[in-house]
């Protein structure tokens, strides 16, 4: 009897695995979702009655019930490199020339794939069983996200027995969130009052880094395999065959993979895909061109950062067409009036776009945008959509949008500022400006006050509860609980979050004040330089201008800000209310003392800001242009012309790894 049950369970598992394969790998489901769910329920029932027969590779065991405390780290047996990018066919041809030169007289062919915009992951199978899944991390060491990856149905827990399975097989590929799942997830998040994810890649990354795999399981992530890491014996002699083997092992491979005999054919394939892009239910940001034969890849090798046998071909920013329903004027935190187009909602690069900035009134005039026009929009830096051009006018008679003479919020005069580009509301007590200043103050990059979102800030101002930053710290739960849609518990959460923000690092408070020209990075420089708000407030204009990377415009703005009696009074009130920013410990190491370093390209472990901070902390100076005085150029991925200049001037070029050793 027990033997029968064991057999029955095994058989059910096998059937379910087969259906997963048909669904995720072949993209040809053989049964309906309902029938599948029935099989699954049957297996679950049998396992519940016979818990001693449950094994970790059972399809029912994808989700671990216990959240992790944190992620362990995994050292990759073979480093996970990044890829060089190209943006046009000339650059692709130059890549091909380099390949040709290195391979001498050999013939070679390419494999062309989609560049999936998700997260790279390495899956380790030992004797055909998934043992570890790790993120790319810094390429050498990543996070162990096995529990979360196990919840992804497209990732087999056991490889299919297709003859011989290598004892060790590391499969690399991309975890992604289908666009439709992303749209649905953001809809649910909006309903729950949670902030939306900016794009499917962020959503996938966020979902994979959750400590509770039960939440990941509900996120509908998926996976495509596209490379191998460590393998005890190669699957094939070339990449194309290796991908065919992947499929036989039950691993999902993207169906849009093509061979090309030469670079011209490769370019043709790439171009044909840029049109197909919007019909896919996942985001791609370009194509990948790879040398097919593994022995030729070995000849070509890699630079420290990227292999020389592959290259990406990035698409131009994605565009969409839609109609301008109306044009609004928004007031920014320093009073700048910005025209904004309200659009007929349209899906662009994975998000629904309803509004687009028109930047300023000169730009609006240049574009000639009016109500009812059909326009082309594009995402700048993937986040903020903008209007690129007018595709067709609604009617010739729609009047051109008039530059406002008064602020749409407070009705005060609106005047052109000194630089002549912006129109500004001159009333500093304008409730529109105050709202934006408070939103910025509480925002993530500044005081980071959780739960104090735009809707609540609007209510606080409308109810006369807050007139300046300091008033936030005088709020109490009773006042908040009296507001619309504010439960007691939420009121308590807001008060707690405001309280917690009192001891934010000094640079955050400096940034939060919203001083013109002073963003997070300059705020960090100022905090480090002065060490206290008092010292910064007393600084003279000349003293400020002498600080590395501050300069005269910022110095003037800082000086004027702190010498304005109204600002002084708000700061005094902030301090009276108990805001005590944490003073930075100025502890400069001397590792880079006296050295000037220029950063170019994208780094793996540092944002530009962090790299510059690290340089300063090590006693060095970071500069934005290369000259003979530059000691090093730190070059990341896609370095710009600065790298060429460094080479020309004979300035030493270092990579990120060397940099990290230098500052340690
Ligand atoms: S091959 C280094 N193939 O692009 C070569 N990568 O910019 C091994 N990516 O980290 C990667 N689609 O996350 C390869 N078809 C594809 C890809 C792909 C997306 C990602 C991957 C990698 C990044 C490099």
| β-pair partners for 379 | 385
How many residues appear in the chain?
664
Q: Is residue 408 part of a domain?
A: yes
Task: Say if residue 605's pLDDT is above 60.
Answer: yes
Residue nearest to atom 9 of ligand 1 (CA): 115
Q: What is the mean pLDDT of residues 371-392?
A: 80
| Residues 296 and 178 grouped into a single domain | yes
Short-list 306, 285, 160, 155, CA closest to 225 = 155
Question: What pLDDT digit, counting tens, does each position of 441-470 carry?
Answer: 999 879 999 999 989 999 999 999 999 999
Counting other chains too, the contacts that 490-497 makes at CB distance below 8 Å and 24 or more residues apart are 490/451, 493/450, 493/451, 494/451, 494/452, 494/456, 497/449, 497/450, 497/451, 497/452
| Residues 510 and 499 grouped into a single domain | no
State the CB neighbour count (10 A cutoff) for residue 208: 23
Short-list 272, 266, 274, CA closest to 317 = 274
Q: Is residue 68 part of a domain?
A: no
Contact assessment for residue 355 and residue 387, using Cβ atoms and an 8 Å cutoff: no
| Residues 22 and 116 grouped into a single domain | no
Residue nearest to atom 21 of ligand 1 (CA): 120
Q: Is residue 402 part of a domain?
A: yes
pLDDT top residue among 366 and 78: 78
Pocket test for ligand 1, best of 119, 174, 228, 242 (most atoms within 8 A of CB): 174
Q: How far, in Å, from the CA of 638 to the mean position of ligand 1?
A: 15
Question: What pLDDT digit, counting tens, does each position of 613-625 carry?
Answer: 788 878 788 887 8
Which atom of ligand 1 is least distant from the CA of 118? 13
Which atom of ligand 1 is least distant from the CA of 637? 7
Q: What is the mean pLDDT of residues 155-162?
A: 90
Short-list 150, 118, 159, CA closest to 136 = 118
Residue 187's pLDDT is what? 76
Question: What pLDDT digit, counting tens, does each position of 111-143 carry?
Answer: 999 999 999 999 999 999 999 999 998 899 999
Count the alpha carbons within 13 Å of 561 in the hemisphere toward its beta carbon. 23
Q: Is residue 604 part of a domain?
A: yes
Instruction: Give the E-state strand segments of 349-413 in sequence order.
Output: 351-357, 374-380, 384-392
Q: What is the mean pLDDT of residues 425-448?
A: 91
d(CA 91, CA 612): 30
| Residues 6 and 103 grouped into a single domain | no
Which CATH number belongs to the domain containing residue 448 in this structure?
1.10.150.20
Last residue of a domain, one of 314, 332, 364: 314
Least confident of 7-11, 15-19, 185-189, 343-347: 185-189
Question: What pLDDT digit, counting tens, does each position of 492-506 carry?
Answer: 999 999 999 999 999
| Residues 112 and 179 grouped into a single domain | yes
| Residues 510 and 483 grouped into a single domain | no
Q: How far, in Å, from the CA of 653 to the mean position of ligand 1?
A: 25
d(CA 518, CA 512): 9
| Residues 244 and 370 grouped into a single domain | no
Pocket test for ligand 1, best of 116, 228, 309 (most atoms within 8 A of CB): 116
Q: Is residue 550 part of a domain?
A: yes
Q: Is 75 helix (H, G, I), strand (E, B) or coil?
A: strand
The CA–CA distances, whole Å, from 622 to 295, 479, 609 equal 42, 48, 10
Residues with CB under 6 A from ligand 1: 81-83, 113, 115-116, 120, 136, 174, 226-227, 288, 307, 310, 312
Q: How many domains does the chain have?
A: 6
CA 17 to centroid of chain Cα atoms: 33
| β-pair partners for 348 | 351
Q: What is the mean pLDDT of residues 414-421?
A: 77
Residue 382's pLDDT is what? 47
- Mean of the per-residue pLDDT values for the chain? 89
**Which helix or strand (DSSP H or E) is residue 330 part of?**
strand 319-331
Active-site residue (options: 44, 115, 164, 333): 115
Which CATH number belongs to the domain containing residue 609 in this structure?
3.40.50.10190
| Residues 498 and 510 grouped into a single domain | no
Least confident of 168-177, 376-385, 565-574: 376-385
| Residues 196 and 82 grouped into a single domain | yes
Residue nearest to atom 14 of ligand 1 (CA): 226
Q: How far, in Å, from the CA of 311 to the mean position of ligand 1?
A: 9
Last residue of a domain, one of 35, 61, 87: 61
Least confident of 194-203, 212-221, 310-319: 194-203
Q: What is the mean pLDDT of residues 381-398?
A: 74
Contact assessment for residue 253 and residue 246, using Cβ atoms and an 8 Å cutoff: yes
Q: Is residue 629 part of a domain?
A: yes
Q: How far, in Å, from the CA of 499 to the mean position of ligand 1?
A: 44
Give the sheet arrangement for strand 621-623, strand by strand.
Answer: 621-623, 596-600, 632-635, 652-654
Residue 662's pLDDT is what? 85
Task: Say if residue 229's pLDDT is above 70.
Answer: yes
Find the helix packing angle between 454-462 and 431-442, rounded to 10°: 140
pTM of the model: 0.59
Residue 198's pLDDT is what? 67
Query: What phi and psi, each to the nearest 5 degrees, are found at residue 280?
Result: -90, 150
Residue entry with tokens 């001037």: 649
Q: How far, in Å, from the CA of 615 to the mean position of ligand 1?
A: 30
Question: What pLDDT digit, counting tens, does each position of 136-157 carry?
Answer: 988 999 999 999 999 999 999 9
d(CA 615, CA 611): 6
Which CATH number belongs to the domain containing residue 294 in this structure?
3.30.470.30
DSSP codes of every residue in 192-260: TTPPPPSSHHHHHHHHHT-S-HHHHHTT--EEEEEEEEEESS-S-SBHHHHHHHHHHTT----S--EEE
Catalytic residue flag (residue 115): yes
Radius of gyration of the chain (CA): 29
d(CA 304, CA 15): 45
d(CA 444, CA 508): 10
DSSP codes of every residue in 286-348: EEEEEESBHHHHHHH-B-SSSBSSEEEEEPPPPEEEEEEEEEEEEE-TTSEEEEEEEEEEEEE
| Residues 234 and 108 grouped into a single domain | yes
| Residues 10 and 123 grouped into a single domain | no
Q: Is residue 545 part of a domain?
A: yes
| Residues 304 and 334 grouped into a single domain | no
- Per mean pLDDT, which of 8-12, 209-213, 395-399 is the most reliable? 8-12
Task: Say if residue 398's pLDDT is above 80.
Answer: no
Last residue of a domain, one of 274, 291, 314: 314
Q: Which residues contact 534 (CB under 8 A, 6 or more apart)?
A: none
- Look up the domain containing 103 and give its range: 74-314
Residue 380's pLDDT is what? 57
d(CA 193, CA 180): 20
Which atom of ligand 1 is least distant from the CA of 85? 7
Q: Is residue 111 part of a domain?
A: yes
């Amino acid at each position: 009897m027990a033997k029968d049950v064991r057999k029955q369970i095994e058989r059910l598992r096998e059937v379910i695995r087969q259906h997963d394969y048909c669904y995720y790998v072949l993209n040809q489901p053989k049964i309906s979702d309902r029938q599948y769910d029935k099989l699954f329920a049957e297996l679950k029932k049998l396992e519940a009655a016979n818990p001693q027969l449950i094994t970790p590779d059972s399809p029912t065991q994808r989700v671990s019930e216990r959240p992790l405390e944190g992620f362990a780290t995994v050292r990759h047996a073979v480093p996970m490199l990044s890829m060089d990018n190209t943006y046009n066919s000339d650059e692709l041809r130059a890549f091909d020339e380099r390949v040709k030169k290195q391979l001498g007289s050999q013939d070679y062919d390419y494999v062309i794939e989609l560049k999936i915009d998700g997260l790279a992951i390495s899956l380790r199978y030992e004797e055909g069983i998934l043992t570890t899944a790790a993120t790319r991390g810094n390429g050498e060491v990543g996070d162990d996200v096995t529990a979360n990856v196990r919840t992804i149905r497209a990732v087999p827990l056991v490889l299919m027995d297709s003859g011989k399975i290598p004892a060790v097989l590391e499969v690399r590929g991309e975890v992604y969130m289908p666009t439709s799942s992303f749209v649905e997830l953001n809809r649910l998040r909006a309903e729950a009052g949670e902030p939306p994810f900016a794009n499917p890649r962020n959503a996938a990354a966020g979902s994979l880094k959750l400590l509770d795999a039960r939440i990941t399981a509900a996120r509908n992530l998926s996976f495509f395999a596209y490379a191998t890491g460590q393998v005890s014996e190669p699957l094939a002699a070339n990449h194309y065959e290796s991908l065919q083997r992947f499929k036989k092992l039950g691993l999902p491979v993207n169906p849009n993979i093509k061979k090309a005999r030469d670079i011209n054919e490769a370019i043709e394939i790439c171009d044909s895909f840029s049109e197909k892009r919007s019909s896919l239910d996942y985001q791609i940001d370009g194509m990948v061109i790879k040398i097919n034969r593994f022995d030729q890849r070995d000849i070509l090798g890699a630079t420290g950062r990227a292999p020389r046998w592959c290259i990406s071909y990035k698409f131009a920013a994605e565009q969409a067409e839609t109609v301008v329903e109306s044009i609004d004027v928004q007031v920014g935190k320093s009073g700048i009036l910005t025209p904004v187009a309200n659009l007929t909602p349209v899906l662009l690069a994975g998000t629904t776009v309803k509004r687009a900035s028109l930047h300023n009134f000169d730009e609006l005039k240049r574009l000639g945008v009016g109500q009812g026009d059909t326009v082309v929009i594009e995402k700048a830096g993937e986040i903020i959509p903008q209007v690129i051009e007018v595709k067709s006018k609604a009617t010739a008679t729609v009047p051109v949008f008039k530059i406002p003479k008064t602020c749409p919020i407070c009705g005060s005069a609106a005047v052109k500022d000194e630089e002549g580009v912006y129109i500004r509301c001159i009333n500093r007590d304008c409730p529109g400006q105050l709202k934006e200043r408070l939103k910025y103050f509480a925002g993530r990059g500044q005081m980071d006050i959780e739960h104090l979102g735009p809707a609540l800030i609007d209510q606080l101002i409308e109810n006369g509860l807050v007139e300046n930053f300091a008033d936030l710290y005088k709020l109490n739960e009773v006042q908040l609980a009296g507001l619309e849609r504010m439960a007691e518990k939420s009121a308590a959460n807001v008060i707690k979050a405001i309280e917690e923000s009192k001891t934010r690092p000094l640079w955050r408070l400096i940034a939060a004040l919203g001083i013109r020209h002073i963003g997070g990075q300059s705020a960090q420089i100022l905090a480090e330089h002065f060490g206290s708000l008092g010292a910064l407030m007393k600084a003279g204009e000349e003293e400020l201008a002498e600080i590395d990377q501050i300069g005269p415009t910022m110095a003037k703005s800082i000086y004027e800000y702190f010498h304005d009696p109204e600002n002084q009074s708000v700061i005094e009130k902030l301090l009276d209310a108990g805001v005590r920013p944490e003073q930075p410990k100025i502890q400069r190491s001397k590792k880079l003392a006296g050295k000037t370093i220029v950063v170019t390209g994208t780094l793996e472990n540092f944002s530009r800001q962090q790299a510059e901070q690290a340089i300063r902390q090590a006693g060095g100076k970071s500069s934005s242009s290369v000259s003979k005085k530059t000691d090093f150029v730190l070059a990341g991925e896609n370095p710009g012309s600065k790298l060429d200049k460094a080479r020309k001037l004979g300035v030493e070029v270092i990579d990120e790894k060397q940099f990290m050793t230098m500052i340690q």
